[in-house]
């Protein structure tokens, strides 16, 4: 898997793609959508501060799979966010490569993850 110049991810036909989201402070309030163009191997829910998902890329070059992740942060009663709170996102492919990035508060942020079979 590789990050392409257009912000999408290039994957090999049949490559296993892993998504891992780790939040630094409770509560975990990110939501991962269903995949369009493919299905998650086993849809999961957050386990504490971590959520993991994976899928196998479509077999045909030019096909795509995509999802949206919404990252939310819940402030305290004074409207403040926990110091250092953020989400760490890791994408890895069975063929090597990947990407990592962080999401910090506020506000709610939405990220589209698009995988293109090359």
Quickly name the fold that domain 2-73+85-117 has: Lipoxygenase-1 (2.60.60)
Per-residue pLDDT at 43: 76
Classify residue 90 by burial, with Cβ atoms within 10 Å: 0-12, 13-18, 19+.
middle
Helix (H, G, I), strand (E, B) or coil at 50: strand
Q: Consecutive sets of 10 residues in the chain, 118 residues long: mean pLDDT of each?
A: 96 97 94 95 88 95 96 91 94 95 89 97
Rounded Cα distance, 99 and 95, in Å:
13
Task: List phi, psi (to 5°) of 22.
Answer: -125, 125
The two three-digit tokens of residue 48, written as one number: 């504490």
Which tokens in the block code for residue 87? Answer: 């989400």
pLDDT the model gives residue 107: 76
- Give percent above pLDDT 70 in the chain: 100
Side-chain-side CA neighbours of 71 within 13 Å: the count stands at 24
pTM score, whole prediction: 0.91
């Amino acid at each position: 898997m590789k990050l392409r110049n257009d912000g999408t991810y290039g994957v090999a036909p049949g490559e296993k793609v892993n998504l891992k989201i780790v939040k630094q402070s409770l509560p975990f309030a990110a939501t991962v959508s269903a995949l369009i163009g493919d299905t998650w191997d086993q849809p999961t829910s957050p386990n504490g501060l971590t959520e993991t998902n994976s899928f196998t890329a479509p077999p045909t070059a030019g096909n795509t799979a995509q999802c949206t992740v919404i990252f939310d942060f819940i402030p305290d009663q004074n409207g403040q966010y926990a110091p250092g709170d953020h989400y760490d996102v890791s994408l890895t492919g069975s063929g090597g490569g990947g990407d990592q990035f962080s999401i910090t508060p506020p506000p709610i942020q939405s990220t589209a993850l698009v995988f293109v079979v090359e």
